[in-house]
């Protein structure tokens, strides 16, 4: 059995798994503000990088990284007796799980920004965290430099959290803003985001909603205390958003946002969903633009609170990691040990997506012929779904086009009822493709 010397004089060695953008930012932040951290923590707490894990030794590293500290063997990182805290920034779920789980078994606190790891395998890791009385800190996993994790976990500990609603993916938010400002098509706005470094070369998880969904799962777990299976939540991305949708939203006094909605209902069921939504231009979330994030929290004591800031980037995310490093170091000097988050109940009930209720904007690709509106309206009426308006914009470049977009605005109804109606409408000869649905949110 490997044993490690106790920590003395509040000097803590850090094992850094991953030295990419954020990892390099962490090293720079510690070098830049190490003295400030010591002053703010009583003058004795020193954080030093003792080992750095990388996948590829041939890649260039920041000059501040001592090459003698670099390894490609994660066992060396975790087992190093001079390493007291593990920072996992390597990404993915397999290797990252091995690193984090082994660190916890060795009673080394973990700091991670890996939202996918915690969303998909958090139940296993939190069980280990409880068993070994060793915390996992993950402020950097949600909304970059915005301290939303610590706020929900600590500042709102005396509140019942009624809801968390937010914009928690900067890439999608930037794309939607550019489509709104300049009338760009989705593909063009995405290419621009990639050129500016706001989107990865493979932007799938950003635009299909799952990056934000992983963050929403973590926020819901914090607020309501039980592990959540990603397969049980409803996720839609922005790939099908067209300029017509954004223009129509403007006419109605809305903006289109990729919105995470987390809400507790009176019966205790928790609603979690992620989808493009119409948000009133008068709501504060409508003014969140570019790569910025914002989360609106409603608590029974605090009322409404808004958290706003950069949701990604080297310095904001590194700032969150360093804050967690300080907390992890304090946990090592705390006789009671654990200062991180643990689920406080084994399970809870998620509200089935079919039971969620909002108003809707639905766009149909239809064959332009007499009676189309009546055919669609008949099916909606048979399912007892009210219509508040219809619209078919004229294509000025080709006013005699055979295929057009037809928009229906629908009254509030359960999503399951809407889906049954849309499945029937899709079988109509006049409908050429699956309908595109946006929620109309009343926040």
**Which one is catalytic: 50, 115, 150, 215?**
215
Query: Residues 299, 155: contact at Cβ < 8 Å?
Result: no
Q: What are phi and psi of 140, to 5 degrees?
A: -75, -10
Report residue 360: phi and psi, to 5°.
-140, 150
Q: Which two tokens stand for residue 412?
A: 């509030």
> What is the full DSSP assignment across 334-397?
-TT---S---SSS--PBPPGGG-EEEEEEEEEEE--TTHHHHHHHHHHHTT--EEEEE----TT
What's the alpha-carbon Rg for the chain, to the nearest Å?
24
Could you tell me if 90 and 52 are in contact, meaning their C-beta atoms sit under 8 angstroms apart? no
Phi, psi dihedral angles at 169 (to 5 degrees): -140, 110
Q: Is 376 left (phi over 0), alpha (psi -120 to 50) or beta?
A: alpha
DSSP letter (8 states) at residue 330: H
Q: Could you tell me if 81 and 106 are in contact, meaning their C-beta atoms sit under 8 angstroms apart? A: no
* CA distances, 46 to each of 7, 193, 326, 328 (Å): 11, 39, 9, 12
**Helix 115-131 vs helix 94-105: crossing angle, to nearest 10:** 20
Long-range pairs for 409-412: beta carbons < 8 A, 24 or more residues apart: 409/252, 409/359, 409/360, 409/361, 409/362, 409/440, 410/359, 410/360, 410/361, 410/362, 410/380, 410/385, 410/386, 411/359, 411/385, 411/386, 411/387, 412/357, 412/358, 412/359
What is the β-pairing status of strands 85-88 and 11-17? parallel
Cross-strand partners of 305:
297
- Residue 215: active-site member: yes
Residues recognised as catalytic: 215
């Amino acid at each position: 059995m490997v044993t490690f010397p106790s920590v003395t004089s509040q000097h803590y060695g850090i094992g850094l798994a991953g030295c990419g953008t954020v990892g390099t930012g962490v090293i720079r932040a510690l070098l830049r503000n190490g003295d400030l951290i010591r002053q703010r923590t009583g003058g004795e707490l020193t954080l030093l990088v003792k080992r750095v894990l990388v996948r590829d030794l041939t890649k260039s590293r920041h000059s501040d990284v001592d090459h003698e500290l670099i390894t490609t063997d994660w066992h060396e990182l975790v087992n190093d007796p001079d390493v007291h805290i593990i920072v996992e920034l390597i990404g993915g779920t397999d290797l990252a799980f091995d690193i984090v789980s082994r660190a916890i078994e060795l009673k080394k606190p973990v700091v991670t920004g890996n939202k996918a790891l915690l969303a998909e395998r958090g139940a296993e890791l939190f069980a280990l965290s409880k068993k070994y009385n060793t915390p996992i800190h993950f402020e950097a996993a949600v909304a970059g430099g915005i301290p939303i994790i610590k706020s929900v976990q600590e500042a709102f500990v005396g509140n019942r959290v009624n809801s968390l609603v937010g914009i928690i993916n900067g890439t999608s938010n930037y794309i939607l803003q550019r489509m709104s400002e300049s009338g760009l098509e989705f593909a063009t706005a995405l290419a621009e985001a990639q050129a500016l470094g706001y989107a990865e070369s493979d932007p799938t998880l950003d635009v299909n909603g799952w990056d934000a969904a992983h963050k929403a799962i973590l926020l819901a777990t914090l607020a309501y205390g039980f592990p959540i299976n990603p397969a049980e939540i409803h996720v839609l991305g922005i790939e099908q958003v067209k300029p017509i949708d954004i223009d129509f939203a403007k006419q109605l006094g809305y903006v289109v946002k990729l919105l995470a909605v987390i809400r507790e209902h009176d019966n205790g069921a928790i609603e979690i969903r992620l989808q493009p939504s119409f948000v009133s231009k008068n709501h504060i979330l409508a003014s969140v633009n570019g790569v910025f994030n914002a989360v609106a929290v409603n608590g029974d004591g605090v009322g409404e609170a808004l958290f706003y800031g950069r949701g990604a980037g080297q310095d904001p995310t590194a700032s969150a990691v360093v804050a967690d490093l300080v907390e992890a170091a304090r946990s090592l000097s705390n006789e009671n040990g654990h200062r991180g988050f643990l689920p406080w109940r084994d399970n809870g009930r998620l509200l089935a997506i079919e039971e969620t209720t909002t108003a809707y904007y639905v766009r149909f690709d239809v064959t332009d012929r007499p009676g189309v509106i009546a055919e669609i309206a008949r099916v909606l009426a048979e399912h007892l779904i009210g219509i508040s308006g219809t619209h078919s914009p004229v294509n000025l470049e080709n006013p005699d086009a055979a295929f057009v977009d037809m928009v229906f605005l629908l009254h509030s109804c359960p999503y399951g009822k809407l889906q049954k109606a849309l499945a029937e409408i899709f079988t109509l000869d006049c409908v050429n493709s699956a309908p595109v649905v946006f929620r109309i949110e009343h926040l």
